[in-house]
Amino acid sequence: MPLKHKDFLGLRGVPGEEIDEILNTSELMKHILLQNHKKTPHLQGKSIVTLFYENSTRTRLSFELAGKYMSASASNVTASSSSVSKGETLIDTGKTIEMMGTDVLIIRHPLSGAPHHLAKHLKSSVINAGDGTNEHPTQALLDMFTIKSKKGRLQGVKVAIVGDILHSRVARSNIWGLNTMGAEIRVAAPPTLIPIGLDSMGVKVCRYIDQALEGADVVMALRLQKERQQRGLIPSLREYATLYGINKKRLALADKEAIVMHPGPMNRGVEINTDVADAEISEINEQVTNGVAVRMALLYLITRRRGQ
Ligand code: NCD
């Protein structure tokens, strides 16, 4: 089944069949990724470019490697070293990249909606690699893929999302996607880090972290986004760690087969303790590998859709 749209901008409104298609294709891609010889012709002759206006390690590199493993030409533009710093507009930069033969442009931007704006002006496919506090759909896809690989399903899986929900595009994309796939989502955070109207997104907002963790199959810790914090939302990092940090003792409340996830980068000792991050039950490293597989699947499906 081809993808519905030219672009992939968010998981809000994406039908379950489309998510299934991407996750199933990701499974095939993971086999390729784990082979000694990681080279397939799926994207031969295609060109992908990442355009990042914010820092990134794993997202940018995993798109680049995903493209390269499938024989695409893959290049990066970083805002700080491009004409963006000379005042070029987003559309002009995007158009310039498109006119060099780019099939897929992958963008990360600090403003919510920037990828949507760009997509309207380009014929190339645009993939959202994180826009402000709005969405980060490929992160949620890799999270769903990780959960499905471990739990065998998404339907009915109890997922506790803990941390800075207010600033988290990862949380938002996961909420849209996991809801569509029938998971049961609970969130816990200090009240100042819970966005208004969250309960209308089909999640259970818990006042106490213990309520969210009770019997959870998946515990997803989120990074406390210090760079997006207006001052005063939490009293201190220490208090936050004491009240909301994921540690071994807290985890005892979750299901005994529970897994722990984190999108990275982690603030060790703040939202997650080292004893948990490096434990057997932690899928944090596996998430990174799965991120490449999922991005390979998405790049393949999006270029195939275009019949290029
Ligand atoms: C996330 C992001 O940038 O939104 N990181 C990532 O892509 N793995 C989460 C974060 O920065 O906390």
pLDDT in tens, 176-199: 999 999 999 999 999 999 999 898
Q: Which residue reads 């039908």 in tokens? A: 15
How far is the centre of ligand 1, averaged over its atoms, from the C-alpha of 278 (Å)?
19
Nearest ligand 1 atom to alpha carbon 108: 3
Task: Look at residue 3 and give its three-state secondary structure.
Answer: coil
Cα–Cα distance measured from residue 254 to residue 257, given in angstroms and rounded to the nearest whole number: 8
- Looking from the CA of residue 170, the nearest atom of ligand 1 is 4
Q: With beta carbons less than 8 A apart as the criterion, state whether 227 and 269 touch.
A: no
Q: How many CB atoms sit inside 10 A of residue 165's CB?
A: 23
pTM here?
Answer: 0.96
Predicted local distance difference test score (pLDDT) of residue 232:
74
Whose C-alpha lies nearest to ligand 1, atom 12? 223
* Full set of structural domains in the chain with CATH: 16-134+288-305 (3.40.50.1370), 137-283 (3.40.50.1370)
Quote the ligand 1 centre to 259 CA distance (angstroms).
19
Residues with Cβ within 6 A of ligand 1?
A: 58-59, 130, 136, 139, 169-170, 223, 225, 263-264
Spatial CA neighbour of 50 closest among 64, 67, 38, 36:
64
Distance, in Å, from the CA atom of 132 to the CA atom of 114, rounded to the nearest integer, reads: 9
The parts of the chain modelled with pLDDT lower than 70 are 228-231, 306-308
Cα 153 to ligand 1 centre (Å): 24
pLDDT of residue 81: 73
Q: What pLDDT is attached to residue 207? A: 84
Q: What are the tokens at 99? A: 């006119």
- CA 56 – ligand 1 centroid, Å: 8
Q: In what order do the strands lie in the sheet with 104-109?
A: 73-78, 47-52, 104-109, 125-131
CA of 54 to the centre of ligand 1 (A): 10
Residue bearing the CA closest to ligand 1, atom 7: 59
For residue 264, the ligand 1 atom closest to its alpha carbon is: 8
Q: How far apart are CA 276 and CA 285, in angstroms?
A: 13
What is residue 1's predicted lDDT score, i.e. its pLDDT? 72
170 CA → ligand 1 middle, Å: 7
The residues facing 74 across adjacent strands are 48
Hey, which of 58, 170, 266 would you mutate to test ligand 1's pocket, going by the most ligand atoms within 8 Å of its Cβ? Answer: 170
CA of 308 to the centre of ligand 1 (A): 31
Distance CA(283)–CA(209), nearest Å, equals 21
pLDDT tens digits, 104-158: 999 999 999 999 999 999 999 999 999 999 999 999 999 999 999 999 999 999 9
Q: Looking at residue 231, what is its pLDDT? A: 66
Q: By CB neighbour count within 10 A (0-12 exposed, 13-18 middle, 19+ buried), where does 199 fall?
A: exposed
